[in-house]
Structure 1
Amino acid sequence: MYLGCSLALYRRVLGGLSTSTVGWASSDSHQFTWWLEWFVHAVSTGANPLYTTYQHYPFGLNGMWNVPVPVLAALTAPVTATAGPVVAFNVAMVLGPVASGVAFVAATRRLVPRLIARAVAGGLYAFCPFVIAHASVGHLNLVWMVFPPLLIWFVDTALLRHDPRPYLTGALFGLGLALQTGLYTQTLAVGAVSLLVVAAVLALRRPALVGRRLPTLLRSTVSCLVVYFVLCAYPLYLLLAGPGRPLERIRPPDATMADAANLLFPSPLTAVRVDPAGFGERLALHPGEQGGYVGPALLLLVALALTIGVRRHVVRPVALVAAILVVLSFGVHLVVLNQVLVPVMPWRLLLDVPLLGEMEPVRLQIVIAACLALIVAVWVDDLVGRPRTVGWWAAAGLIVLVVVSWLPAPDAVRTVHTPVPAFFTRSAAQVLGPGAVVETTPRATGAWEGGAAPLLWQAESGMAYRTTGGYFIGSGPGRPLLLAGPVNAYQAGVDAIEGGAEPGPPEVARRELRQLGVSALVVVPRDGDPAASRILDWTRAVSGESGRPVDDVVLFDLAR
């Protein structure tokens, strides 16, 4: 069922698995394809999958501050090796919601006995507004949301029940933490905050229970930490002290806060939108981060579940956890319709906590969705066992309204055509030779649409060369924070030409390129670019070569 829903969601890419990528923000999807290919290349050549000089050469790139997704890269490695990284990326995007839904169904087995109830709620969770929002921008690491269900399983097993095998539970949870580290570390931080909230809620509501469970919980915790640190010692070193990590805050604290109005007003990615005033068009952030929609139907269901006695011993703490996480997701300010209403919010207390302070509070929305889905599961489970009265049909109708209210719009997930110049797939490995360092024009940038296309070309070449540029989070000599490869004098000249200005001295650009170890320049002509001939002339002046056409690019040798 989940696979069918996912295929319907991603139907636009099915006819072009190798020629298009999911997500209108192609820079992110191309970044993921690069890392999928890098993993296969690294494993096959004995290189480090988590640190590379194939971007930002010669200084290198710390994968733990980027999106290497080694767990997914390993799972999709056979696809990458045979069909290419674009196909692997698209296949992984399709499978993400399926894995999330199955994980939810498995994790809630003891909390919700009936499979039908877990299946309905699992589908609601797997295709919730958060997942649809991030699917729309090609965020592979945020459509694989198996970690929140793992949190539910751990809380249920280690806190709510007597656990006869705490060391095994802890070891399994430690393994889960390690796998999530290999998916996306920020989701790990989201889970840590969520666990703290759960612990606080249980301590306040059921202190006696916490006291009884504390001895076994400590055993689970010790086992968990041992397994986790054994498996993740090196990734944690890279994250905390490794080379190339960012040395200052990546984004302003107020850049990634949820808009409170999004709770009631959906983004344009939702199919059913009752919003005559157009409030959804005025939400903060872009639609790819507007995943916090709950909606009147689900809010009504939660309110009824809290008041009419539907397993309130489960519903009440879950609803309280969700409410606290909603407040935290607002970040340092309370923003409503992109306007700051309350200047100071609780999240400000976490800004100086290492790693947690870099977390984007808006990402807490996925755990909120998991909490709401669990309440729905309890509601459906209770409903199945009741006689079919008028009230029963009303309650069932409310479930239908909830599901309909979260359906994605028909065009919620778009695709981007990904043409790759023939040179990179046909000739690059043979023409450039081993150890090549290439400067491409255009270069990789962080522009959301098309900026990272050169990374896709590099990946499709089978990592036939290194490049001084890139699209990443990192640092470099004299630069505590980089969000893309720094612009060298040659590329500055290209930018000047495209802006209608004169470039600088070619000998300065040539000297800098050689200092960086660049061995070749590859110019990819762009149709209709009025500056194309001047860029070629500039490249000839810098390289001292006339250039030679190879397939559909012009190659300039800097080795001499």
Structure 2
Amino acid sequence: MRAPSRAPHVAAVTAYIVLGLVVMGEFLGDAGGRVSAHLPPDHTWFEWLLAHGAHVLAHGGNPLFSTTQNAPYGVNLMANTSVLGVTIPLSPLTLAFGPAVTYVVWMVAACAGTATTTYWVLQRYVVGSRAAAFAGGALAGFAPGVVHHANGQPNFVSNFLLPLIVAAVFRLGADGRWRRGGVFLGLLVTWQLFINEELLLVTALACGVGAVFSCRRLAPGFLRGLGVAAVVAGALCAYPLWFQFCGPQSFAGMPAFTTWGEDPLTYLTFPRDTLAGGPQSEAVQGRIEQNSWFGWPLTLLLAVLVAALWRRSVPARVAGGVAVLFAVLSLGPVLRLGGIRTGRGPLAVLPEGVPILDLMMPSRLTYAVTGAAVLLVALGWDRLRPARLLIPLALLPLLPTPLPAMPERPAPTFITGGEWRHYVHPGGTLVPVPLPSNWLGRETLGWSAQALQEFTVPEGYFLGPDPEGKGHMGTQHASRTNQLITDIYRTHAAPALSETDRAAIRADITRWHGEAIVMRDEPANQPLRDLISQVYGPSMTVSDVWLWRP
């Protein structure tokens, strides 16, 4: 008996890789010299995280915490988006080619990998048609919300484990091997925890709701397997989760996130980075996360598929129920219609500060809607002949276009050539100007990434505790130095410093253990040079930077 041909599978994966290359097309000619034009700070942050993974592999240390940013306090990476489940495996590539090249490889692989695992699950367990599985996989890997987050947030693109987790949950104990199934599920959950906790939570909620809608019997094998998975994941994740919520630089809740719900009209709007979308999309709905943005053809088709498959398919009923429930919940506590606040949303009934939920952006619950849409598309293609024409017509407008990119300057030769080592010793800090922060200094944080975090920098771009212990962007120890630097960017001139200001800058540098203050040698930085020179005297010119020794 002839073995089944693998050619269709190879063709499917190849097509997904090609689509991934299209998405990152603007980066392919010069991966090290381009950065996202839509979310450059987040792009740089994830390159910095890739450098963290490489730094841990090369030097050891606690991967859950970094002391190379926000000196001398550090950054709790479990309380941020550490993505250790990707950055550690990719660290050999980062060490060989640098974080910028690795970032582009990661994004292509994340899109194609998510599509591939979805295709594998669908054709193995759900549908008989490989074409149906291919269509579902394409939507999973290149859904509007996924492509939107490819503009600098690869943690919401790296969803390759989620289809495997869903399949493992719904098959748990079905073959009698509940121990093996439970261990496998526990390991998948643990890995996903180190990629994106938010989507792990959304997936868990969706699986629970799906089990209710499917009226799944709680068979002994299922419950035993679930218990095994809980023990395995609990044992492996207990310390990282403790560290996230109770470790140094941890925080409770992100109040700024919890009101960010989905606008119902976005389901009818074409997303920006697609054939049918463009800048006009954001002109209508504003610059918000495009997590749904299915466009009216796909939204209408999904409603038709639910109605047509309702009686003949339990999975379709489950998908329809999950889609409706999570679409409603994703509206959040504040209802907006067309960008205008119109009243209280469904989550307004929840009290403020609900643990775990107070870290989640409600709009991202639409990822469960996307998962339901993937299942409906695959089932519709497999079981409804007319859908084989309608589905391509609905998906064609959503084909991704290359994401916008802009040039990225390389770090100064002083950094890349290692000259900084003559001025900063172990335990000391390199103070780049402008300082890394959530408003300025993205480029100087990139210096740390390009140097693979071989030196420490103060302040930075991260989530940390404010004085009340709530999460916010940046350090809670606001420095006078950064305030003065920010003022220069507003006024384009250095102020005449008082003795109080000079003392405050010296105190900041001392608190940071600063051994060298460095800025790029260029005319645009002259006001910044004048500022620092009022405190530490004239600068030295070293290679292509101005430098002061405090």
- Pair 1:16-2:30 in alignment: yes
Aligned CA distance change for structure 1 residues 522 and 79 (closer, same or farther; 3 Å): same
Q: Is the 1:282–1:337 contact (alpha carbons within 8 Å) kept by the matching residues of 2?
A: yes
Instruction: Report the Cα distance in structure 2 between the residues aligned to 1:274 and 1:504, rounded to whole angstroms.
Output: 50
Q: In the alignment, residue 535 of structure 2 is paired with which amino acid?
A: V
- CA offset at residue 490 of structure 1? 2.7
Corresponding position: 1:540 with 2:543: no
Note the C-alpha offset of 1:356.
Answer: 2.1
1:297 aligns with 2:287: no
| Residue 157 (structure 1) aligned with residue 147 (structure 2) | no
Code of the aligned partner of 2:533: R
1:417 maps to a residue whose letter is E
1:493, 1:504 within 8 Å by CA — same for their partners in 2?
Answer: no
The count of aligned residue pairs is: 527
Aligned to 2:429: 437
SS at match of 1:457: helix
Q: In 2 relative to 1, CA 48–132 (structure 1 residues): closer, same or farther, beyond 3 Å?
A: same
Greater shift after overlay, 545-554 or 175-184?
545-554
Match of 1:253 among 255, 258, 265: 258
Map 1:129-528; keep pairs closer than 5 Å.
Answer: 129-136=144-151, 138-158=152-172, 162-202=174-214, 206=215, 209-210=216-217, 213-254=218-259, 256-273=260-277, 281-286=283-288, 289-309=289-309, 311-346=312-347, 348-349=349-350, 351-383=352-384, 392=385, 394-408=386-400, 410-426=401-417, 427-447=419-439, 451-475=441-465, 480-485=470-475, 486-498=477-489, 499=491, 500=493, 501-505=495-499, 506-527=502-523
Greater mean alpha carbon deviation, residues 466-475 or residues 545-554: 545-554
Shift of 1:533: 3.4
Instruction: Give the counterpart of 1:47 among 57, 61, 68.
Output: 61
Query: 1:31 deviation in Å?
Result: 0.4
Structure 2 residue identity aligned to 1:539: I
Q: Is the 8 A contact 2:253 2:356 kept in 1?
A: no
Cα distance, 1:24 vs structure 2: 2.4
Letter in 1 for 2:132: A
- What is the deviation of 1:515? 3.0
- Identical aligned pairs, as a percentage? 25
CA contact (8 A) 1:37 1:80 kept: yes
Letter of the 1:552 counterpart: D
CA contact (8 A) 1:22 1:135 kept: no
In the alignment, which of 112, 115, 120 is matched to residue 98 of structure 1?
Answer: 112
Letter in 2 for 1:189: L
Tell whether 2:543 aligns with 1:551: yes
Cα 1:373–1:495 change in 2 (3 A) is closer
Code of the residue aligned with 1:536 in structure 2: it is R
Whole-angstrom distance in 2 between the partners of 1:490 and 1:59 = 17
For residues 118-133 of structure 1, the aligned pairs below 5 Å read 118-133=133-148
Match of 2:81 in 1: 67
Letter in structure 2 aligned against 1:509: I
Residues 424 and 314 of structure 1: CA distance in aligned 2, closer, same or farther (over 3 Å): same
Deviation at 1:404, TM superposition (A): 0.8
TM-score, structure 1 normalization: 0.88
* Alignment pair present for 1:116 and 2:131: yes
How has the CA–CA distance of structure 1 residues 504 and 51 changed in structure 2, closer, same or farther, with 3 Å as cutoff? farther
Larger deviation, residues 427-436 vs 54-63: 427-436
Paired residue type of 2:227: V
Contact 1:43 1:49 in 2 (8 A): no
User: CA 1:337/1:192 → structure 2, altered by over 3 Å: closer, same or farther?
Assistant: same
How far has the Cα of 1:180 moved from its partner? 0.9
CA RMSD of aligned residues (A): 2.5
Change in 2 beyond 3 A, CA 1:438/1:487: farther
Check 1:416–1:171 CA distance in 2 against 1; reply closer, same or farther (3 A cut).
Answer: farther
Q: Deviations over 1:490-531 (max 9, x none)?
A: 33333344434433421332133213322221122454x3xx
Q: Distance in 2 between matches of 1:155 and 1:461?
A: 42
Tell me the residue number matched to 2:7.
none
Name the CA shift for 1:238/1:290 in 2 (closer, same or farther; >3 Å).
same
Query: Residue 126 and residue 481 in structure 1: after superposition, are their counterparts in 2 closer, same or farther (change >3 A)?
Result: closer
Change over 3 Å in CA distance of 1:357–1:150 after alignment to 2: farther
Name the amino acid aligned to 1:523: M
Structure 1 residues not aligned, in runs of 5+: 384-391
Whole-angstrom distance in 1 between the partners of 2:366 and 2:403: 18
Quote how far apart the aligned CAs of 1:446 are. 1.4
Q: Cα distance, 1:121 vs. partner? A: 1.1
